[in-house]
Amino acid sequence: MTNKKLHDNKSKAPQPSEKDAALIKICVLLTLVLDVLERDIRILSTSPLKMPDLYVRSLTEVQQRVAVQLAETKAQMKRQGIKIYSEIRNHEGVEVLYMCRGYQKRFFMLSSFARSEVRRKLGHYLGIDLTQDDVPL
């Protein structure tokens, strides 16, 4: 009996934390940013712009930086025992089901919030200060 109790105490994994949920949020946002970049690169590469290759190259470089950060985030999730097993996107938002050290968890992000966060992250990667929206061209 004593061995069983000791074994049970050792096998209890820590409860999922706010830091774990923050990793899921970052992973979801970076995935969305990559999707936006992929779409925009595809559109720009076939657009009638004078020099679309410059824009495509710029976005491709950003895409590579985002991909590296996403890989680092996923590696950190793996180290912490977090695995996404379902992601559903619809007009309401993004729902993610994941396992965190044996606990099933759910993460949901409203579409409007996701769009705002993706815009903020993309602006950061592009070096654009989004607080200066009213800058004349």
- What pLDDT sits at residue 135? 55
Cβ atoms of residues 121 and 65 within 8 Å: no
- What pLDDT sits at residue 7? 41
- What pLDDT sits at residue 14? 84
pLDDT along the chain (137 residues), means of 10: 40 84 97 97 92 93 98 97 96 96 95 97 92 63
- What pLDDT sits at residue 132? 75
- What is the token pair recorded at 135? 């800058």
Distance CA 62, CA 7 (A): 48
Long-range Cβ contact pairs of 13-19 (< 8 A, separation 24 or more): 13/81, 13/101, 13/102, 13/103, 14/101, 15/103, 16/100, 16/101, 16/103, 16/105
Greatest C-alpha distance within the chain: 77
The residue ranges of every structural domain in the chain are: 18-80+112-126
- What pLDDT sits at residue 11? 56
Burial class (CB in 10 A: 0-12, 13-18, 19+), 81: middle
Distance of CA 100 to the CA centre of its chain: 17
pTM as predicted: 0.84
Length of the chain: 137
Q: Which residues pair with 86 in a beta bridge?
A: 97
